[in-house]
């Protein structure tokens, strides 16, 4: 079930307390962000950082509300329910947004069940592919379809992982889905270069970040993941990036896209 939560002042002051003509001018200077997975981790840190800018508006998509802010709108949705994504897109992507730029950030991801293929539940494998690969691919398609003729800059960032390039035992579905997301992003950028509709596509590995996913990894069964000690040491040695540090690097990328012509990026090199 999809639910939309608007900031309170949007109901009280349709033009944000400004005269209508001034409100419309201000809105044309805004960048609109659509971010999945804003309830915690990188997604939440990114949303909280972006709304500090008075010319940013963020629409967050997650199963649970993240926070309240006058420039944040929350949409409750479960990205494993991929058949409902067209309905979600109708709520998410308005027909003619008044903005100077549009950004879709497919941040939501799941490691799902850590363990070996043939020993983990197939239902968890399906959920992993849905959240990590199918949902972002469909949201990319729906975003491009809706805004292909809009003559403003449009950027898509798919949050990938180094696991999409390096195999890990116990992470088969996660590695495969992130590898698929990388290739999908490269193909879509080639298509957009041919169509020349103003879209930039990135697939970005954020590095090893101190999130709930890392906590789940450290608590995994050693029989289902042979490299668990390495990840425990990363935490003990304080080698994990914070979500806030990663959010700042994403913002740097968005502010300096012309410096990064490649589709596949690693934030540790930014």
| Cβ 102 vs Cβ 118: under 8 Å | no
72 Cβ partners below 8 Å, 6+ apart? 7, 47, 51, 57, 58, 59, 60, 66
Give the residue among 96, 56, 87, 98 at the shortest CA–CA distance from 73.
56
User: Residue 184, Cα to own-chain centre: how many angstroms?
Assistant: 15
Distance CA 205, CA 226 (A): 22
β-pairing verdict for 56-62 and 72-76: parallel
Positions marked active-site = 174
C-beta of residue 112 within 8 angstroms of C-beta of residue 176: no
Cβ atoms 36, 107 nearer than 8 A: yes
C-alpha R_g of the chain:
19
Rounded to whole angstroms, the Cα distance separating 254 from 231 reads: 30
């Amino acid at each position: 079930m999809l639910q939309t939560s608007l900031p309170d002042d949007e109901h009280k002051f349709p033009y944000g307390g400004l005269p209508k003509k001034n409100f419309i001018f201000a809105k044309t200077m805004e960048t609109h962000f659509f971010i999945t997975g804003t309830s915690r981790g990188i997604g939440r840190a990114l949303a909280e950082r972006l709304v500090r800018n008075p010319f940013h508006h963020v629409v967050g998509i997650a199963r649970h509300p993240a926070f309240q802010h006058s420039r944040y709108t929350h949409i409750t949705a479960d990205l494993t329910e991929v058949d409902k994504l067209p309905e979600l897109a109708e709520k998410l992507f308005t027909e003619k947004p008044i903005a100077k730029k549009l950004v879709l950030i497919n941040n939501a991801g799941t490691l799902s069940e850590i363990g070996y293929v043939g020993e983990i539940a197939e239902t968890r494998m399906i959920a992993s592919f849905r959240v990590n690969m199918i949902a972002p691919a469909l949201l990319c398609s729906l975003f491009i379809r809706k805004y292909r003729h809009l003559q403003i800059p449009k950027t898509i960032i798919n949050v990938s992982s180094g696991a999409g390039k390096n195999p890990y035992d116990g992470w088969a579905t996660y590695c495969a889905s992130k590898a698929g997301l990388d290739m999908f992003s490269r193909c879509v950028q080639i298509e957009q270069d041919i169509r020349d509709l103003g879209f930039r596509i990135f697939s970005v590995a954020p590095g090893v970040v101190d999130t709930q996913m890392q906590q789940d990894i450290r608590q995994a069964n050693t029989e289902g993941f042979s490299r668990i000690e390495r990840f425990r040491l990363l935490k003990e040695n304080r080698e994990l990036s914070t979500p806030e540090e990663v959010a700042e690097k994403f913002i740097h990328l968005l502010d300096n896209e012309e410096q990064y012509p490649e589709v596949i990026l690693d934030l540790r090199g930014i």
